[in-house]
Structure 1
Amino acid sequence: MHKRLLWFLVLIFPLLAAGQEAFDYKAFETKLKKHIYSSPDSTRILIDEVLEKKNLHDTIRGLVYNIYGIYYSHVGELDSSMVAYKKSAALLKNHLWIKTMPLMNMSVGYRNMGQYDESFKCLEEALEINKRLGFKEKEAIVYSNMSSNYQFMLQYDKAVEYALKGIEILKKEDSPLLAALTQKLANTYMKMSNFSFAKELYEDCLKIFKKQNDKVSYTLTLINYAEVLIHLDQTGKAKKALREAIAELSRIKNPEHLAIAYSKLGHIAKDEGNIKDACRNYEAAFAILSESNSINLVIIASEYIELLNKNKDYDKALKVIEKTKRSPIFNDVNKADKVRFDVAMAETYSKTNNDKEALNGLVRALKIKDSLARSGTDNYTKELQAKYQAELQREKNRALKVKNAGLQKAYETEKTRMIAYIAISLSIILLILLLLRSYRLRERLRKEALKLAATEKNILRKQHEHEKELTQAQQDIISEKQRELASSALKMANYQDNLLQIIERCNNDSIKKVSDVKKELEGLIKQKDYWRQFETRFNMLHPGFGASLANRYSNLTKNDIEFCSLLKLNMSNKEIAQLLQISHESAITKKYRIKKKMEIQDDADFEKLLMEI
């Protein structure tokens, strides 16, 4: 409301400035628009500069004092704002059509201070002036403020009645102010716990305020909208709305509503069990309101005390109680808020062993609660609600009927085009299906060809593996035969060596008799198991070597183990070749094959293994 009044003021300044060329009202208007909400301190400087002018017309001075009152109200200095409004009304007493501005602003100030009788006096005077001058929109605004007064006084039947009076006037005038008055009605429904309908009204108002680029009204509506969402358990949307409101309220420096937004965030945090965040938000809200004489201080203090009691922070709760009781508006708050404060205070006193004060608080709360008992008003209030809701629904139905007629016409226009679209679409779909069928057939043939190729490849791979296995088996057999042949050659080499020795001895006349030759030959025959004798002696020196080696490497043959036995004796390849009557290269090859069977690459590792067994 203040914002609309300001723009009205700045528009009439040039008209009232006729003949006063010493003051540039156009420049003042531009500066005022720039700073009134974004930079209140700059606004005050501008206003002071104007008021210091001595030859300023009383009408201009009165209007400037009205702006001064708006400034003080905006920064939370209610007492100073009331002084400025009264000066404005006195200066404008001969200009009734302008005097209604400070009167309306005074009514809001008195309401915020809990002085409802004084507020109604201002509103009744403004209503009489507007009726006399035929200002219908301003008359509706007066009814809106009366509705707000009754809402604060918890007389919701009266609040609804006067809100509907204002709405009826604005509907006839087709006024853009209808959204603001609808918002007041939504506030009342919220207080009456009709949250679903209040939510619907708030959403309509938000759309209109956003379309009108009325940021102040939009932001203030967000706060009450969040309250409704909290009651409807839509806390996610509520937090989003409150954060948006806090950002804008911080920018335009509106402390009172900023405090209310913080308190509602604290309420959500408390319900979610986040006590730390709840305390932080309530503390911020209380700190802001305790600097002003706002009537909202008591209810927010009550919620904060309840939270502190729940958190067992009784010392801080006592400080909040004392600071709230010292506030000038403490005795002017509505009875419901006073009851809640007294109950919360009684709990704090009870927990801090101050039973006397606790009992006094509860007694006061019970007395106030009894005085709140009302009869005969609830049904009337519900009738008003039903009447307005029915009227609103009829308007929506009419709008829906017009919209449906337009839709029907559009439907008929689009019907032929849609049929053509459907025919074309069906043709395209049929073509696509044919293409898909052709593609799937080609794809199936391709997959069958790939499958056949994979099968043939698998058969060839298995054949290759089988041939490889056969080749390996043949190689193993050949290797075994070679080992057996080497063993036979060893034995034959030994026999040959012995025979050569016998012949040499005969040539040397070491053996002269045939009987001696016979004896040597018989001994040679007896030595046919010479390797077994070697094994016996080797096993005596290295017991279990052959068995251990065979257990570790089951693929080693007896000849392999015999060869390893010679290596165990630290014999070189050359020595083993001489002993086995084979070439030096054959000995190296045999050693290599044994290492391969044992899966050992390095000679050092092979020799270390043999030494450790």
Structure 2
Amino acid sequence: MLRILTTILLLATTVAFSQRGAYDFNKAEKETRKLIFSAPDKGLALIKQTLKQPNLHDSILGKTYNLYGMYFGVTGRPDSLIRYMDKSLGYLKNYPELRVKTLMNLSIGYRNKSELSKALDIINQALVIYQKNKDNVGIATAYGEMASNYSYMQNYKLAVDYLLKSISILKAEKNTDKLPAVQQKLANTYMAMGNHEFAIDLNRESAAAFKKAGDTNNYYHTLINLGESLGRTGKYAEAEKVLTEALNGLNTYGDKELTGITQSHLGVLKGLQGNDKQALEWYAKAMGNLYASKSGWAAGIAGEYIALLNTNKEYERALEVTEQIKTLKLNEKGNTENQLKFTEAAAATYNALGMTNDAVKAYQHTLSLMDTLNKIKKIGAIEEIQAKYQTDIQREKNARLEANNKILTHDINAAETRMWIYIGAGVLIILFVLLLLRGYLLKNRLQTEELKSIEAERSVIEQQHVHEQELIAAQKDIIGEKQRELTSTALRMANYQDSIRTLIERCDNNEITQVNDAKRELQNLVKQQDYWKQFETRFNTLHPEFGTTLIRRFDKLTKNDIEFCSLLKLNLSNKEIASLLQISHESVITKKYRIKKKMEIGSDEEFENLIMDI
């Protein structure tokens, strides 16, 4: 009853304004909503014109401030979006059907600020209203926004589940207007899981639908994601064309965050093509926009930028980016994967510049983030949900086949009815229908067998994938075990050397004065295995090409030089090598210097990189 009275009051107010000729709000609202997504500044002018009208009803003020907030959302200013949405809610306390739309927009603002828990709470408030009003399209919209939050939180299973629910509801309601937006969200989720081929198909469909509807804002959003997937699958020329179109279109909106993200995708694209110079230029432009918008994506994109700077040995520049992100506290925003990208790249920069303490802290944080990420990512679950949407499509095909069968059954019943009317012709009709039915049954049986065959093939492929994963894990374990055995051998060599040194010290201290005692001790040591030989054998097993590669490239090196380089390959310190070879720390440094001289290498960094890369 209250809802009916509210609607009557709202209509009466609108009619009153129209009759006075003062201002047609309904017309202005439709025009404003359209302009916000195509020409935002023109939409803002209409919003301001509406707010200048005298004696506006609370419902009109609430809807207008909602549009004001949407304008800031489209132009990439989430703080202003939230402020105006809160203002809208203040006027819409008694209008739940209007209030729910503002709540949905408010949740987007908090999501863009990476305040995901708060965004989910607000969506749940909206969902309660939609369910109370039995608004199925609204429920589907809420599910879609929930999925966006869960995808950002890397809970892809929940994201896909909610998106499939949303798609199912919209199809049942025959609502094609909102379907492209949900398909776009599904494409984004599959992109996040690395399924770029399927994401490309979904994004192409969504982009075409948005363009046809004149929704340029969502159209450019979709182009960004399409361009990224095209680049990841090696379609570089098409990816650059799509991203350039998106970048040019975004200039209309002034959305610095989206502009920065698009520029970073162009940077990734140039990097994939081996053009690091242009890639760094695009990243620099991107970071300027991401700093300005304080984007939640800034940390992840900065991580990619810093890693590329490190690869090009531009460590000072990489440090500037790192400190800027930390100063703006953008490293604390975004999901775990983005934070991991940044922290890992920053650690490499600190390490390259000799900032040991900072590097250690960054590596420790990296390990913590990796543990968190491993808990989130469940490979089996991801593979299952990647196949879920394809299964849903097949289910839809089966539903259409079932509908065809129902139509056929209806035709048979009609034929049987006519049989009683036309007895003579009825027999012939029945025979014809039975033959036709038999053909359909055989066809259905063949289709069923074909589906079983496809399912069996999919099962075999999944088993092969699991086997490959297990084989890779086993190989990693074997390599790790050999590395541990090699280090163990090296340590036993050190122990062997220490035993000899101890024997000498005991002789010097007159603890052993008889030649026979000394001889007995030496015989015990002789009985022990040749640890250096064991070390050499195991080292060559783990790094078979190391020695031959060094000799081929640097023919001046001796066998002792190769053995010394083998210890460096194990990343042992000068002190540890001195202990193993029973020489002084200074002798190790001298030995390293002579080897570098033979190899005609000047810096320690170049020498160490060469040893580790072989």
**Partner of 1:99 in structure 2?**
99
Distance 1:214 1:34 in 2: 8
Tell me the matched-pair count: 392
Does the aligned pair in 2 maintain the 1:265–1:278 contact within 8 Å?
A: yes
- What is the TM-score of this pair, normalised by structure 2? 0.59
Does the aligned pair in 1 maintain the 2:190–2:199 contact within 8 Å?
A: yes
Using the TM superposition, give the Cα deviation of residue 305 of structure 1 relative to its aligned residue in structure 2, in angstroms: 1.6
Distance 2:27 2:125 in 1: 34
Distance 1:16 1:245 in 2: 42
Q: CA offsets, 1:513-534, max 9 Å, x none?
A: xxxxxxxxxxxxxxxxxxxxxx
1:81 aligns with 2:78: no
Using the TM superposition, give the Cα deviation of residue 267 of structure 1 relative to its aligned residue in structure 2, in angstroms: 0.5
**Partner of 2:389 in structure 1?**
388
Using the TM superposition, give the Cα deviation of residue 24 of structure 1 relative to its aligned residue in structure 2, in angstroms: 4.0
Tell me how large the CA RMSD over aligned residues is: 2.8
Q: Describe the shift of the 1:136–1:373 C-alpha distance in structure 2 as closer, same or farther (beyond 3 A).
A: same
1:338-487 alignment, distance < 5 Å: 338-374=339-375, 377-395=378-396
Does the aligned pair in 1 maintain the 2:267–2:279 contact within 8 Å?
A: yes
Q: CA offsets, 1:140-192, max 9 Å, x none?
A: 01101111111100111111111111111111111111221111111111111
Does the aligned pair in 2 maintain the 1:116–1:149 contact within 8 Å?
A: yes
Does the aligned pair in 2 maintain the 1:96–1:129 contact within 8 Å?
A: yes
Using the TM superposition, give the Cα deviation of residue 375 of structure 1 relative to its aligned residue in structure 2, in angstroms: 7.6
Does the aligned pair in 2 maintain the 1:309–1:347 contact within 8 Å?
A: yes
**Partner of 1:307 in structure 2?**
308
Q: Which runs of 5 or more structure 1 residues have no equivalent in the other structure?
A: 1-11, 404-613
1:320 is aligned with what amino acid?
V
1:18 aligns with 2:19: no
Q: Describe the shift of the 1:343–1:127 C-alpha distance in structure 2 as closer, same or farther (beyond 3 A).
A: same
Q: Describe the shift of the 1:27–1:123 C-alpha distance in structure 2 as closer, same or farther (beyond 3 A).
A: closer
Distance 2:76 2:88 in 1: 19
Using the TM superposition, give the Cα deviation of residue 368 of structure 1 relative to its aligned residue in structure 2, in angstroms: 1.2
Distance 1:401 1:172 in 2: 16
**Partner of 1:588 in structure 2?**
none
Higher Rg: 1
2:15 is aligned with what amino acid?
A
Distance 1:370 1:300 in 2: 21
1:23-62 alignment, distance < 5 Å: 23-25=23-25, 28-29=28-29, 32=32, 35-37=35-37, 39-53=39-53, 55-62=55-62
**Partner of 1:227 in structure 2?**
228
Using the TM superposition, give the Cα deviation of residue 90 of structure 1 relative to its aligned residue in structure 2, in angstroms: 2.2
Specify the SS of the correspondent of 2:293: coil
Once structures 1 and 2 are overlaid, which stretch shifts more, 210-219 or 98-107? 210-219
- What is the TM-score of this pair, normalised by structure 1? 0.59
1:365 is aligned with what amino acid?
T
Distance 2:328 2:219 in 1: 30
Does the aligned pair in 2 maintain the 1:113–1:329 contact within 8 Å?
A: no
**Partner of 1:212 in structure 2?**
213
1:314-333 alignment, distance < 5 Å: 314-327=315-328, 329-333=330-334
**Partner of 1:151 in structure 2?**
151
Using the TM superposition, give the Cα deviation of residue 66 of structure 1 relative to its aligned residue in structure 2, in angstroms: 1.1
Does the aligned pair in 1 maintain the 2:144–2:163 contact within 8 Å?
A: yes
Specify the SS of the correspondent of 1:251: coil
Q: CA offsets, 1:233-279, max 9 Å, x none?
A: 11122111111211222234333222211111110111212222112
Does the aligned pair in 2 maintain the 1:38–1:253 contact within 8 Å?
A: no
1:515-554 alignment, distance < 5 Å: none
1:97 is aligned with what amino acid?
E
Does the aligned pair in 1 maintain the 2:35–2:43 contact within 8 Å?
A: yes
1:17 is aligned with what amino acid?
T
Distance 1:379 1:220 in 2: 30
1:260 is aligned with what amino acid?
I
1:134 aligns with 2:134: yes
1:531-610 alignment, distance < 5 Å: none
Q: Describe the shift of the 1:174–1:347 C-alpha distance in structure 2 as closer, same or farther (beyond 3 A).
A: same
Specify the SS of the correspondent of 2:389: helix
**Partner of 2:591 in structure 1?**
none
Q: CA offsets, 1:261-309, max 9 Å, x none?
A: 1111110111212222112211221111211132112112222222222
Does the aligned pair in 2 maintain the 1:147–1:163 contact within 8 Å?
A: yes
Q: CA offsets, 1:387-446, max 9 Å, x none?
A: 32022145468889999xxxxxxxxxxxxxxxxxxxxxxxxxxxxxxxxxxxxxxxxxxx
**Partner of 2:431 in structure 1?**
none
Distance 2:368 2:121 in 1: 29
Distance 2:382 2:273 in 1: 34
Does the aligned pair in 2 maintain the 1:349–1:355 contact within 8 Å?
A: yes
Using the TM superposition, give the Cα deviation of residue 330 of structure 1 relative to its aligned residue in structure 2, in angstroms: 3.7
Specify the SS of the correspondent of 1:374: helix
Using the TM superposition, give the Cα deviation of residue 128 of structure 1 relative to its aligned residue in structure 2, in angstroms: 0.7
Does the aligned pair in 2 maintain the 1:263–1:282 contact within 8 Å?
A: yes
Aligned-pair identity in percent equals 36
1:325 is aligned with what amino acid?
K
Using the TM superposition, give the Cα deviation of residue 329 of structure 1 relative to its aligned residue in structure 2, in angstroms: 5.0
Distance 1:75 1:375 in 2: 32
1:362 is aligned with what amino acid?
Y
Does the aligned pair in 2 maintain the 1:14–1:25 contact within 8 Å?
A: no
1:98-117 alignment, distance < 5 Å: 98-117=98-117
Q: Which runs of 5 or more structure 2 residues have no equivalent in the other structure?
A: 1-8, 405-614
**Partner of 1:184 in structure 2?**
185
Specify the SS of the correspondent of 2:263: helix
Q: CA offsets, 1:449-506, max 9 Å, x none?
A: xxxxxxxxxxxxxxxxxxxxxxxxxxxxxxxxxxxxxxxxxxxxxxxxxxxxxxxxxx
2:215 is aligned with what amino acid?
D
Does the aligned pair in 1 maintain the 2:110–2:116 contact within 8 Å?
A: yes
